[in-house]
Structure 1
Amino acid sequence: MAIRKHRAGELVIEQTRNLGLVRDMLARAGMITDGIEWPAACYIVAYVGDEAVGVVGVESKIDAALIRSLYVNQSSRRRGIGGALLAAARKAAHTRGARHLYLFTKDAAGFFERHGFTTVAVRDAIAALPGVPQVEFYRTRPEELAREAAYHLDISADGVIER
C-alpha cells in the first residue's frame, strides 16, 4: 500500500518503511532479503497508481553506499522505472554522505553501464563497504560472491554547483 494515494497511471517514486512490501517484492524476484531491516538502509519503491512495481535499496557506510536489489516487475519494464529508481537511490546515497556508489550484479551489467557505472574488482567493492548487510551476506557465501560482478560510480560531484 502506498503512503498516499496516487493518480491512476502516474509513476511516483517514494521512500518506504514498509519492509514487508520490500521483502515480498525481493522474494518474488528471487533476490536476497537477508539484512533488509538494517537501520541505516533506505528502501525506495516505484508505484504506478497505487501498485508497487519496483524497488531499490541503499546501504550507506561513511562515504560509500551500496545499491542493493534494484528490481522492476517484468510487466513494468522498459518504461524508465529502473532508471528513475536508480536516480532516486543515487540521490538518497548522496544525501547520506556517500561519495562512491557500488553495486553487485549477475545479469544487469548493460543497464548499469548505461547509467555511468564501471566495473571494479569485487574485492574493492567489498573493502569499501565493511559491515553493510549485503556485503556481509556475500562474505559468508564466497561461492555466491564469485558469480557477481562489481560496479562503481563516483558521485562526489553530485549537487555541486559549477560557476
Structure 2
Amino acid sequence: MQLVYKIINDEKSFEEFRTLLKSSSLPADDLNFKKDLLVGYYEGDSLVGTGALEIYSPYALLRSLSVKLGIRGKSVGSTITEYLMNEANKRKLKAIYLLTETAQGFFSKKGFTSINRDEVPSEVKVSSEFSHVCPASAIAMVYNC
C-alpha cells in the first residue's frame, strides 16, 4: 500500500478529516486546522488515516488517530503515530500526552506509559480533550520525547 501524507490546512481537507473521525466515533468538533498539526494519510485520492498534535508548549496532546475500516491492520496507525512522535521530537517538545478508551495496548507498544490524570501538566489539562470531551474513564498516557 502506497500512502502519502498531507498536512491538513484547508477547509475541504479539514471537512474530510472530521468526517473520518466521526465515522470512527472520535470527537472532531473542537479541532482547529489553523492551530493544530493535523495530518491525513491518503491512498490515491482517498483519506484513509488521520492524526493530530495539539501543541501546548513544551508538551503536545496526541489525538484524532483514526484509520478507515478496511485499511486497519496494515500499520497505518503505526505510521501516523510515528510521524507525530517524530514531529514532537523535531519541535523539541518534552512529552506527548493522550487519552484513550480502547488503544492502551497499541500506544504501550509505541513507548507510551499509563499515568494518573493528575500527573498531566496543567498546560495540557486545559485542552478540550482533558477538560470535557473524553470521559473520566479514559486512560491517560505519556511518551517522553
TM-score by length of 2: 0.88
Would you say the 8 A contact 2:7–2:38 is kept in 1?
yes
Alignment partners' CA distance in 2, 1:29 and 1:128:
27
Q: Aligned with 2:83: secondary structure?
A: helix
**What is the aligned counterpart of 1:89 among 81, 84, 90?**
84
Give per-residue Cα distances to partners, 1:105-161, cap 9 Å, x unaligned.
0011110011111001122226351433323334xxxxx531200110111xxxxxx
> In the alignment, is residue 14 of structure 1 matched against residue 6 of structure 2?
yes
Give per-residue Cα distances to partners, 1:28-73, cap 9 Å, x unaligned.
1111113202643111111112211010111011111010110001
Alignment partners' CA distance in 2, 1:36 and 1:11:
23
Structure 1, gaps ≥5 residues long: 1-8, 139-143, 156-163
Find the counterpart in structure 2 of residue 65 from structure 1: 60
> In the alignment, is residue 49 of structure 1 matched against residue 52 of structure 2?
no
Change (3 A) 1:66 1:13: same
> In the alignment, is residue 151 of structure 1 matched against residue 141 of structure 2?
yes
Alignment partners' CA distance in 1, 2:96 and 2:139:
14
**What is the aligned counterpart of 1:24 among 19, 24, 27?**
19
**Structure 1 ranges of 4+ moved more than 6 A:** none
Amino acid at match of 1:148: A
Would you say the 8 A contact 2:8–2:33 is kept in 1?
no
Q: Which has the larger radius of gyration?
A: 1
TM-score by length of 1: 0.79
Would you say the 8 A contact 2:17–2:47 is kept in 1?
no
Equivalenced residues, count: 142
Find the counterpart in structure 1 of residue 99 from structure 2: 104
Alignment partners' CA distance in 2, 1:34 and 1:147:
21
Q: How well do the aligned residues superpose, as a CA RMSD in angstroms?
A: 1.8
Task: State the shift of 1:80 in Å.
Answer: 1.1
Would you say the 8 A contact 1:19–1:36 is kept in 2?
no
Find the counterpart in structure 2 of residue 74 from structure 1: 69
Find the counterpart in structure 2 of residue 35 from structure 1: 30
Alignment partners' CA distance in 1, 2:93 and 2:20:
26
* Aligned-pair identity (%): 23
Give per-residue Cα distances to partners, 1:9-44, cap 9 Å, x unaligned.
421122112211111111111111132026431111
